[in-house]
Structure 1
Amino acid sequence: MSDNNPARHLSDAAEGIRAFNHTSRSAARDWEFPSHAYSAVGNLSYLAGMLEQAVQQSTRPVMHTYEHGRVLIDNGGDADAKVAELVAAQRDAEVAAAALTAAVQRMHNAVSPMGLDTTGIPEFEDDEDDE
């Protein structure tokens, strides 16, 4: 897939999500406090917010080809029926993407005021003395 192929970016995004899923499985120094979740959920909210447009634009090659009467379906299938199925599924995906966006934005709003109570944690005691 060439760098100019838009599908390449979706492949890269999927790989980024796979990497996140892998590295976020356990707590680590950079993955243990509410501020870390706030950052991650913020990025996830941004990503989810772009899914509806990506869903819309992902079918453009099919629609372009269909509008020119050039869609061919394996085994002599009905192009009109398959494109109608695609369009209906696309609408469902757009609705789901909008719902996902709203839910993840609520997650981001919920985690926003959260912080770490450092009382009694030795590595944070020096910071408390500075106040």
Structure 2
Amino acid sequence: MSKIIGGATSQIVIDTETPINTPTGTPLRSRLMPKHYLRTSSKALQEFNRATHHPTPGWDYPADSCTAIGRLAQISRMLPQAIEQSIHPAQRVHEHGKLLIDNGGDPDQQMTNFLTSMEEAVAAAEALNSALETMHSISARMILDIS
């Protein structure tokens, strides 16, 4: 049996009958493919950037800015958790003693650097969210003068 994940433009077919063990022994069929959700999200953001680069119908009013900033704030609220959870595969492989580093690097040192970078990314995401929440509050008070 196969499971199809995705929409009309991007589909992933997963064989749900044949277990494939990951480096940590978890059968692949029991796991969704989280990286594909991020691909879909990044494509959606790319399309938003394209659609809003120039003035277009339906993208005319201060309320449009407020809505967009509100959605970006919503996304940014989820970023810290997503960043923290994105390191789990590498952490599990490291904990099982299976992590190798190109050119013979030290896995323990690289994992320490990785965790430090993750903490910095989480702090930056939290700062981004704070700024977007402020922008959203400000834009919520903006209206079009129709006089």
TM-score, with length taken from structure 1:
0.87
* Mapping 1:72-87, distance limit 5 Å: 72-87=100-115
Q: Which one of 89, 96, 99 corresponds to residue 68 of structure 1?
A: 96
Q: Which one of 39, 42, 64 corresponds to residue 11 of structure 1?
A: 39
Instruction: Extract structure 1 runs of 4+ deviating beyond 4 A.
Output: none
Matched position secondary structure for 1:87: helix
Q: Which one of 100, 106, 116 corresponds to residue 134 of structure 2?
A: 106
Alignment of 1:59 onto 2:59: no
**Bigger proportion of residues as helix:** 1
Alpha-carbon offset, residue 118 of structure 1: 1.1
The 1-side partners of 2:110 and 2:13 are apart by 28
Q: Which one of 116, 123, 128 corresponds to residue 144 of structure 2?
A: 116
Alpha-carbon offset, residue 2 of structure 1: 5.7
TM-score, with length taken from structure 2:
0.77
In structure 1, stretches of 5+ residues that fail to align are: 120-131
Matched position secondary structure for 2:57: coil
Name the structure 2 match of 1:30.
Answer: 58
Question: What is the CA RMSD across the aligned residues, in angstroms?
Answer: 1.2
**Bigger proportion of residues as strand:** 2
Alpha carbons of 1:34 and 1:12: their partners in 2 closer, same or farther (altered >3 Å)? same
Deviations 1:47-96 (A, max 9, x none): 01110000000000001111111101122211011111100100000000
The 2-side partners of 1:90 and 1:104 are apart by 21
Q: Percent identity?
A: 32
Q: For the pair shown, which has the larger CA radius of gyration, 1 or 2? A: 1
More relative contact order, 1 or 2 (CA 8 Å, 6+ apart): 1
